[in-house]
Amino acid sequence: MNPAIISMRGLRKSYGVGTPVETEVLHGIDLELAEGEFCALIGPSGSGKSTLLNLIGLLEPATSGELVVAGQSTTGMNEQALTVLRGRHIGFVFQFHHLLPAFTALENVMMPSIIEQGVATAEAEAIALDLLLRVGLRGHEYKKANQMSGGQQQRVAIARALSRSPRLILADEPTGNLDTHTADDIFALLREFNRERGSACLIVTHDPRLAARCDRRIELVDGRLASPASPAMPQPA
């Protein structure tokens, strides 16, 4: 097995800490995700999938427990160090793509580089243009995000997530609001980049068909793993 890109021990998350409505929603998760693994995160609504993704993506702090990302323990890390770690290794794709509507597809894909470097470098632009071709958006590079279809916008979001070749892609229901055909295309794209670049993927999905096509399924029920972090299951041919 490859080394772990993500490793956690006893990870807990509570909301409303210190208030009368304090609720624990993740009750001590032990989990490892190997470099290059292509994994589905499944479970009923409210079971904690998005919460877990937000913790792994360093968007929210855990209440307790240990989380190691790309070999670095994140316990006690300050906001700036977390931002660097996130920017260097993690790409996000959300159900509602969070593109900047008034910017072009190209600008949206380049946004992480623009934010990080302050300017759009020629290299960042070349990478972004190449990715837009790869996700099937030739000819749409200069279209504004709000003039594109849902499926096209999700392709832009994937290109953006990949713009810095992350070692880990976190996707929260990336195909949730798309028709079956478009959902299959988007899923295939994630799989393609996973095989080609070795980016590990953790994909939240309610679609059993798509989950069955992942190398491994991790199931959350009421904030706990349903079965011990399951070994990889054989892939259908």
Ligand X SMILES: Nc1ncnc2c1ncn2[C@@H]1O[C@H](COP(=O)(O)OP(=O)(O)OP(=O)(O)O)[C@@H](O)[C@H]1O
* Least distance between ligand X and beta carbon 64 (Å): 16
Q: Which positions touch Mg ion (CB under 5 A)?
A: 50
User: Binders of ligand X: how many residues, by CB under 6 A?
Assistant: 10
One of 25, 90, 148, 203 touching ligand X (CB under 6 A): 25
Shortest Cβ distance from residue 30 to Mg ion (Å)?
21
Instruction: Please tell me whether residue 71 binds ligand X under the rule CB under 6 A.
Output: no
> What sign has the CA pseudo-torsion 14, 223, 190, 176?
negative
Binding to ligand X by CB under 6 A, coded x per residue (else -) over 30-69, reads -------------x-xxxxxxx------------------
What is the nearest approach in angstroms of ligand X to the Cβ of residue 106?
31
Cβ distance to Mg ion smaller for residue 50 or 182: 50
Are the C-beta atoms of residues 88 and 34 closer than 8 Å to each other? no
List the one residue from 1, 3, 15, 147 that touches ligand X (CB under 6 A): 15
Q: Under DSSP, is residue 108 helix (H, G, I), strand (E, B) or coil?
A: helix
- Ramachandran category for residue 48: left, alpha or beta (phi over 0 → left; psi -120 to 50 → alpha): left
For 120, half-sphere exposure in the C-beta direction (CA atoms, 13 angstrom radius) is: 11
Q: Which is nearer to ligand X, 3 or 16 (CB)?
A: 16
| Phi, psi of 158, rounded to the nearest 5 degrees | -70, -45
Q: How many whole angstroms separate alpha carbon 55 and alpha carbon 53? A: 5
**Cβ proximity of 39 and 218 under 8 Å:** yes
Could you list the residues that contact ligand X (CB under 6 A)? Answer: 15, 25, 43, 45-51
